[in-house]
Chains A and B, each alone.
Chain A
């Protein structure tokens, strides 16, 4: 029972972060059909914001909010400066642009900060633990679950109750028709990028809190995780991204904990075997979007 609770909390905690990351990626994909490969760099931007703010006397919570907002601002700026000029050209042009933005941001961090890891401030509560069902559980994991679930609920209210949210859902389904009703293309796209960046920024707080440091390449793993989650869950639906995130996290946690020692090295091979199996039986992902 203790083991089960431990796996459950670890899975939920990791899954919550994966779900938010996947959601951030898929909200842009839904509208532009663009997999934004610069997405991981928004996490990096949040990380370096935290690092740069760390000598300041600001309370940690304020730093965290500023860092998340900076990720959203960076996401918005990349849309305005990099993606908008090539949007009418082709999807391939946008995809290449996203690689360019990713490389550019990483190199900026290498050049202006350092290739080596930098310490980001973490609040005391991140290193505290509580005992749940006989297991030592980091409070950070509980916080990640609570914050993520609150965000998911808030996000779903935004999508269902506000005109912007309804427009975002409509645009993901039929973009041109949405514009014909008077919804400006630039408005929905900018909104999607801002939400995407904000989700990346909030994830970053918890993601970086695990190791307490940031490197220029920190965004790669979250990007891959988000991408694989959306593929598992189904690229065409927001709920699919969330489901995919939790599934991937639970598969990862189970293999990490239950694989015998000599097979542990190959855990990623096992994880991706499961991913391939899921896709063999559900090529459109677990949650099927509409055509």
Chain B
């Protein structure tokens, strides 16, 4: 479904991706792990069209999408829930969701979509007319995911969805990701919480210094000794 081929990208003078190739198949949950600065966020930003690749291909459903603008990429069916969630804090919860459905205007499914989101995230119904800035961190994360889902993406990219959340809320977020995956959503997940993300992923890639250092099933990656010492020790 999504294929990156020899992708290079840089932030000003800092080279962030040095020839990354990876693949996400339809219906898969793929985890992308690695230390801070490994290039995980850059990778998602480049796919989403926020950053331009310097070299290499991004192919989504057979169509090259490298270098497209963010507003075009979302129309192709890719939604990104960025790190820090990027909630519009002085818009209401409803207005945030309404913008999430921006590319689906005129389809007449808005009401049904809102109902579906409120079923998936009951807290959003309670907070519907409140400013999003008044929500707690966990609630904002739910809103960010719901907002992304409003565009009916075929690929959902999540950047550190558990970052800064209380342990109980982290459980909820992971349960939700699993549920979305079970319902058939294709997901590319970047997580600092390696243990938890490997536990729910079908496959995983280990990114280091802007390149893919290892890839395979979670079991394959767990056997990597470096991995154990670097990540699994302090994963939680």
Contact = CB atoms under 8 A, between A and B. Distances in A.
B35 interface: no
Interface string A141-165: 0000000000000000000000100
Interface in B16-54: 48-50
A174 interface: yes
B206 interface: no
B102 A182 contact: yes
B122 to A, nearest CB: 23
A166 B90 contact: no
A31 B86 CA distance: 16
Q: Is the interface of A mostly helix, strand, loop or mixed?
A: helix
B180 to A, nearest CB: 19
Nearest to A160: B95
Interface in A164-193: 166-167, 169-170, 173-174, 176-185
B154 interface: no
Given A173-B91, A180-B70, A182-B75, A167 B50 contact: no
A183 B99 contact: yes
A81 B170 CA distance: 49
A180 to B, nearest CB: 5
A172 B218 CA distance: 42
Given A179-B71, A182-B71, A182-B75, A173 B90 contact: yes
A290 interface: yes
Contacts of B91: 166, 169-170, 173
B69 A166 contact: no
A176 B88 CA distance: 11
A181 B133 contact: no
Contacts of A290: 89-90, 133
B70 A179 contact: yes
Given A166-B99, A290-B133, A176 B70 contact: yes
A170 B99 CA distance: 9
A180 B71 CA distance: 5
A224 to B, nearest CB: 29
A151 B71 CA distance: 31
Contacts of A178: 88, 99
A186 to B, nearest CB: 9
Contacts of A181: 74, 99-100, 102-103, 147, 151
Contacts of A170: 88, 91, 95, 99
B82 A177 contact: yes
Nearest to A166: B95
Contacts of B75: 182
Contact of B50 (A163, A169, A176): A176
Interface string B95-114: 10011101101000000000
Given A166-B95, A169-B88, A183 B102 contact: yes
Interface string B66-90: 0001110111000110100010111
B128 to A, nearest CB: 15
A181 B95 CA distance: 12
A177 B70 CA distance: 9
B71 A169 contact: no
B57 to A, nearest CB: 21
Given A170-B99, A182-B71, A185-B69, A177 B86 contact: yes
Interface string A184-220: 1100000000000000000000000000000000000
Nearest to A170: B88
Contacts of A174: 86, 88
B88 A180 contact: no
Contact of A183 (B49, B50, B71, B82): B71
A180 B147 CA distance: 11
| Nearest 4 interchain pairs by C-beta | A182-B103, A177-B86, A179-B70, A182-B74
Given A166-B99, A174-B88, A181-B100, 10 more contacts: A163-B102, A163-B105, A166-B98, A169-B88, A170-B91, A173-B89, A177-B86, A180-B50, A181-B74, A182-B103
5 contacts: A163-B102, A167-B102, A169-B95, A173-B91, A183-B102
Interface of B: 48-50, 69-71, 73-75, 79-80, 82, 86, 88-91, 95, 98-100, 102-103, 105, 133, 147, 151
